[in-house]
Amino acid sequence: MAYVPVNIEESIRRECRRRRYSPRTAKTYLYCINRFLKFTKKELGHISKKDVRLFLEHLSDEGLTGNSMNTYHMAIRFLFIDVLDKKIWIDIKYSKTPEKLPVALSKEEVKALFSSISNSKHRLMIELMYSAGLRVSELINLRVKDLEIDKGYGFVRAGKGNKDRLFILSFFLKDRIKKLITGDNLLGDSLLFKSNRGRSYHIRSLEMIIKNACKKAGIDKRVSCHTLRHSFATHLIENGYDVSAVQSLPGHKSPETTMIYVHMASPSMINIKSPIDTL
């Protein structure tokens, strides 16, 4: 029988830290696992694959989406395989939720969004996030030493999946980034963007900046920080770059993820004509 720790929650947190999972992932896994254990009403050493199946079937009956089901599935696998080192084969299939295309802004809407941000630092943050296809967490954790400004690129350190990756730096933003570094006397290890209190920005602050700018610009879409990342990839496709070239920039694991943006791109921008025009 596998070793069962006295404090299972602390063991889960410790393993998440060891694997460099984000605090948000650790919190999600703890919630999913606690709900699973409450459902089974069994001690860890007596839980079987059948219990896992019954729990996931229960969630399915509640109408959870495919993404939510997958999160619970991965959390339970993490508990048994990574935390308890228990050899339990969990390969349960369920219907996936049909994929929906994410929201993206048009190029005109992106320009209107930028123009609606009066604070120069806030505008630079939003422009950099869009121009490089950065996740909001990657933006607020950027440090001066991560940038090779004159060479036109930078590095995301320990991004999603604890991986490093290169991102492009817009020529349009170079001088303003240099001015920010000089004006704020930022050193190599300093965060590129600091709040008025000298701390890192909170994700919610960036979301509010975008929300207020969209309202001011009259953009009637549900826009978040991640929308700028979708817009970045979509506009690269529209500008004629192929999937293989675009895939590495946002840090996509597979070309299938990037292919979503081919479907989102404007047909006129990628020179696709309707077949009726050739009849």
In tens, the pLDDT along 29-83 reads: 999 999 999 999 888 778 888 888 888 888 877 877 777 888 888 888 888 888 8
Q: Annotated catalytic residue: which of 160, 174, 211, 216?
A: 160
Report for 115-124, 166-175, 186-195: range of highest mean pLDDT = 115-124
**226 in active site:** yes
111 is catalytic: no
Give me the CATH code for the 107-264 domain, please: 1.10.443.10
pLDDT (tens digit per residue) in 82-101: 888 877 666 666 545 545 66
Helix (H, G, I), strand (E, B) or coil at 200: strand
Q: Which of 13, 123, 135, 235 is labelled catalytic?
A: 135
pTM, rounded to two decimals:
0.62
Find the mean pLDDT for residues 144-152.
Answer: 91
261 flagged as catalytic:
yes
Region 200-214 average pLDDT: 93
CA-based Rg of the chain, rounded to a whole angstrom? Answer: 22
Domain ranges of the chain: 8-83, 107-264
Q: Do domains 8-83 and 107-264 have the same CATH topology?
A: no
Q: Quick one: which of 58, 75, 55, 69 has its CA closest to 9?
A: 75
* Mean pLDDT for all residues in the chain: 80
**SS3 (DSSP) at 154:** strand
pLDDT at 168: 84
135 is catalytic: yes
CATH architecture of structural domain 8-83? Orthogonal Bundle (1.10)
Q: Helices (H) and strands (E) in the chain — how many of each?
A: 12, 3
Query: How sure is the predictor about 231, in pLDDT bands with cuts at 50, 70 and 90?
Result: confident
Burial of 73 (0-12, 13-18, 19+ CB in 10 A): buried
Which of 86, 107, 211, 226 does the annotation list as catalytic? 226
Q: Name every residue whose Cβ is closer than 8 Å to that of residue 184 and which is 6 or more positions away in sequence.
A: 190, 194
The question of whether 24 is a catalytic residue gets the answer: no
Please write the tens of the pLDDT for every residue from 232-257. 888 877 777 665 656 555 555 554 45
Q: Is 202 one of the catalytic residues?
A: no
Choice among 122, 229, 230, 235 that is catalytic? 229
Report whether pLDDT(226) > 80: yes
